[in-house]
Amino acid sequence: PEVTKPLLETSRKGYLAANSASAYSFVSLIQRIGPIMNKDGAALSLTYIASEDVIPGYGGGMSSAKAALESDTRTLAWEAGRKYGIRVNTISAGPLKSRAASAISEKGKKGFIDLAIDYSKANSPLSKDLYADDVGASAFFLLSPLARAVTGVTLYVDNGLHAMGMAIDSASLEGIHTPP
């Protein structure tokens, strides 16, 4: 996909490829594994906050694809829940270093993911690094019987960044007291 391109420069082919890879692939997966899953089983996908907020640099139609994935998660929760007795959820992970995230970077420049990690640490209620284990522990919960009544949910695992309506590291807020 054309993930490094702005949406206005994304081709139809790139846009559809992003939606195919990030949204339809999950629909296709549930179509095929739903009939053979155990009743009370669970399926899980990964999304990103760009589905609902503008994230400059997250391009190529990926924001639209993630919005489609979240909508499909809710619809699949209803349909697969009724048809197969399974739960369907998604995790909206905050920025963390990963091989997939590194693909969005240009050589020689501080990459998109590095900038997103810095921004997240500066503006999240929990100002700390996010680790794959944090996402994994949340996935474990959602896939376990502990979440037997949870379906159709987008669970934010992002140190609370999704809750923020304003960046506290903005120069516009100079002089306003914020907790350390």
Marked catalytic residue, from 24, 48, 84, 131 = 48
Among 90, 72, 80, 89, residue whose Cα is nearest residue 38: 80
The residues pairing with 123 across neighbouring beta strands, listed in sequence order, are none
* DSSP secondary structure of 42-109: EEEEEE-GGGTS--TT--TTHHHHHHHHHHHHHHHHHHHHHHH--EEEEEEE-----HHHHTTPPTTS
Marked catalytic residue, from 15, 24, 58, 156 = 58
Cα 6 to Cα 64: distance, rounded to the nearest angstrom: 12
Query: Does residue 48 have an active-site annotation?
Result: yes
Cα 69 to Cα 117: distance, rounded to the nearest angstrom: 23
Phi then psi for 125, rounded to 5 degrees? -55, -35
- Residues catalogued as catalytic: 48, 58
